[in-house]
Amino acid sequence: MSKYRTSPLVTDKMPPGIPYIIGNEAAERFSFYGMKAALAIFMANYLGVLGGNNLTEAEATTYVSWFNTAVYLTPLLGAVIADSFFGKYRTIMSLSIVYCLGHVCLAFMGVGGVAQFWLLAGLGLISLGAGGIKPCVSAHVGDQFGNKNQHLITNTFNIFYFSINFGAVVSNLLIPWVLKWYGPHWAFGIPGVLMALATLFFWMGREKFAHIPAEGSSFIKELKSREGLGVIGKLLPLVIFVGIFWCLFDQTASRLVFQAERMDRNIFGIEVLPSQIQAANPFLILVLIPLFTFVIYPLVGKKIKLTPLRKIGTGLAIMAIAFLIVSLSQEAIDRGEVPHVSWQLLAYLILTSAEVMVSIVALEFFYTQAPRKMKSLMMAIFLASVSVGNSFTAVVNNWIQIDGPDEGKAREVIVEGLEDKQKQLPGHDGIFDTEDDLLFKPNMIDSAVSDLLAQVVKQVENTYIENQALPTHLPDVDLPVDSWGSSITYQLISAKEARVSSLGPDREPKTKWDLGIVLKVKDDKEALSDTWLYKAKKEKGMLDEDASADKSPLSLKYTAGGGETLEGADYYWFFTRLMLLTAVIFVPFAMLYKPRTYLHENAMSDEQSQE
């Protein structure tokens, strides 16, 4: 027999265990969002310093999305464990310890082992711990309520969501700053400390909670019942609709961070870090939750009946508007402009409004639609919508990446007088010692078009020196034709980046045989000299120190293949159209869905709980 109370108190007041759950959630969300705020930038810029290889933006987005997929898929495991075997409290406590160990691994990346091992181990443990407790914590909130105080559930879930975003706004501002000035060990270590505190808060509330026992075989029986399967079948389409919302929303931690790098981030005289822009979302949540709850919903409700599905459908449509602004901002970047980050902040205002109408409403809706013995599982199915969306983002970002030539076919070339070995790779014809061979040298790729590419690069450099800006385009007459009959092309990527390229021997665009040079305006070393990354690179001899004769204001990166088939504004327009189509298709689903609400019926009175 359990030593803890096993049913909600019969009271019309707030359950006594709620403050401990809220405190736990605020600290845990600080931990998770703080780590996540640093993750994409870390993978793109810091991993190489710790012994790994820096990732491209598409690669970093792919890995972050697969991590999110795992985080929001493991709730299914946590829900089954909680509902069938251990109950929610024991499941949360056990997996919180796993969660803490994951943060320890991230904090020790590059110390006593290969950075990639610590990274994968840390993300794996965090996905198991964070994902496993997610459905249990939100269902544990609902378990504290009975029939007499069920009217407080909506406000409690709003407070619950408020605590999530309170922790997130602080961590999104703090952790990117810690990463820049103190490095990844502190940036990932501090969230680990907060996760330990979250576990402590939850343990302290153990005697205040209603510990709804695991249902064991009765859970499986209800799951397999006609009613249980029917509820899941009814809600699965909603998982897809909400999943597309998360497909766009969760790119705030990856693609929108990289977009912010190319924007003017001066806000009231302060240069904001790209990762810190994410803090706009949880900050706006703190404002918009009470605004929607106490102002917008009541006002609109006087004219239109606001059902949960109508709120969700409206949120899906509004999300398309948010990405419309993101797409237009990227078009400006593609033209070489530097739009102010306020445009992205406007998109955050709109997408956060969509989040209030989609995420909070869907969270409560899934809980109320679940039969009593399937509450945790239904929370897990709701969270699986995040997994569905992020897996789609990961697949898209993996699909659009262009591979480079297979370096496994290369042979080493030893050049007398040079220490560094060079690699020779057969070109498109697959035969060595022909015109299309590639020679991989330190910091460059030598090919049949190298001289032509260098010729155009020199033109770009001269234009930059003269105008202090990269040219938006070059006249066709200034672009030579390569030996395979294709014209060298020039493409502006942003105000500080451009690409000069050849279609290569296959004469096809966007293939692994494309040969090019990416030009980038050099950063101000004096401004970077105090950052952790600069000091670490200097200590490891990884800085591209200019030779005395090299006074070029541009750095060069030679490429063979690589790049993306869907880049620039085209990438964001793809997701904008996807979101708009989803909102349209959602309408008939909402019209046909017939909701049914389930709540716990057996509650214990205050007097009974004290006997």
* pLDDT (tens digit per residue) in 100-152: 999 999 988 877 667 888 898 999 999 999 888 877 787 777 777 777 777 77
Segment among 276-280, 430-434, 523-527, 529-533 with least mean pLDDT:
523-527
Indicate the pLDDT class of residue 235, thresholds 50, 70 and 90. confident
What residue has token string 């009974």?
608
Same domain, 88 and 167: yes
**Which has the higher per-residue pLDDT, 214 or 521?**
521
Indicate the pLDDT class of residue 332, thresholds 50, 70 and 90. very high
Over residues 478-506, the pLDDT tens digits come to 799 998 999 999 999 999 999 999 999 99
Same domain, 269 and 388: yes
Compute the C-alpha angle 275/276/277, nearest 5°. Answer: 90
Same domain, 293 and 435: no
Residue 611 has a pLDDT of 34
Segment among 29-43, 288-302, 516-530, 596-610 with least mean pLDDT:
596-610
Highest mean pLDDT (candidates 110-124, 327-341, 399-413):
327-341
Indicate the pLDDT class of residue 334, thresholds 50, 70 and 90. very high
Query: In a 10 Å sphere around its CB, with 0-12 CB exposed, 13-18 middle and 19+ buried, how is residue 133 labelled?
Result: buried
Same domain, 308 and 388: yes
Task: Name the maximum alpha-carbon separation found in the chain.
Answer: 92
Give CA–CA dist 529/537, Å, rounded.
10
74-78 mean pLDDT: 83
Please check whether residue 1 lies inside any domain of the structure. no
**Which has the higher per-residue pLDDT, 31 or 596?**
31
DSSP letters spanning 216-261: THHHHHHHHSHHHHHHHHHHHHHHHHHHHHHHHHGGGGTHHHHHHH
Over residues 557-580, the pLDDT tens digits come to 999 998 899 999 999 999 999 999
Judged by DSSP in three states, 266 sits in strand
Over residues 80-90, the pLDDT tens digits come to 787 778 888 88
Question: What CA–CA distances, in Å, run from 367 to 13, 67, 224, 362, 515?
Answer: 20, 25, 18, 8, 54
Same domain, 282 and 146: yes
**Which has the higher per-residue pLDDT, 64 or 154?**
64
Q: Which of 510, 259, 247 is nearest to 400 (CA)?
A: 510
Same domain, 519 and 575: no
Same domain, 330 and 455: no
Please check whether residue 4 lies inside any domain of the structure. no
Give CA–CA dist 51/111, Å, rounded.
10
Same domain, 108 and 41: yes
Phi/psi class of residue 468: alpha, beta or left (left: φ > 0; alpha: ψ in -120 to 50)?
left
Give CA–CA dist 556/502, Å, rounded.
16
Over residues 188-199, the pLDDT tens digits come to 999 999 999 989
Judged by DSSP in three states, 486 sits in coil
What residue has token string 């205002």?
349
Q: What residues contact residue 384 under an 8 Å CB cut-off, 6+ apart? A: 72, 73, 75, 76, 239, 243
Question: What CA–CA distances, in Å, run from 521 to 140, 464, 494, 552, 555?
Answer: 53, 9, 10, 9, 6
Q: What percent of the chain has pLDDT over 90?
A: 56
Indicate the pLDDT class of residue 607, thresholds 50, 70 and 90. very low
Same domain, 346 and 205: yes
Q: Is the pTM of this model over 0.75?
A: yes
How many CA atoms lie within 13 Å of 360's alpha carbon, on the beta-carbon side? 28
Question: What CA–CA distances, in Å, run from 173 to 165, 176, 266, 346, 484?
Answer: 12, 7, 15, 18, 51
Over residues 457-481, the pLDDT tens digits come to 999 999 999 999 999 999 887 799 9
Indicate the pLDDT class of residue 15, thresholds 50, 70 and 90. confident
Same domain, 395 and 413: no
pLDDT at 536 over 60: yes
Which residues form the domain of 69? 9-401+568-610
pLDDT at 426 over 80: yes
Number of domains in the chain: 2
**Which has the higher per-residue pLDDT, 610 or 88?**
88
Please check whether residue 343 lies inside any domain of the structure. yes
pLDDT at 382 over 80: yes
Residue 2 has a pLDDT of 58
pLDDT at 154 over 90: no
Q: What residues contact residue 581 under an 8 Å CB cut-off, 6+ apart? A: none
Residue 63 has a pLDDT of 94
Same domain, 413 and 270: no
pLDDT at 260 over 70: yes
Give CA–CA dist 532/181, Å, rounded.
5
Segment among 60-69, 166-175, 204-213, 426-435 with least mean pLDDT:
204-213
Q: Which of 401, 395, 390, 384 is nearest to 64 (CA)?
A: 390
**Which has the higher per-residue pLDDT, 582 or 142?**
582
Please check whether residue 3 lies inside any domain of the structure. no
Residue 75 has a pLDDT of 82
**Which has the higher per-residue pLDDT, 240 or 229?**
240
CATH number of the domain where residue 577 is located: 1.20.1250.20
Same domain, 448 and 374: no
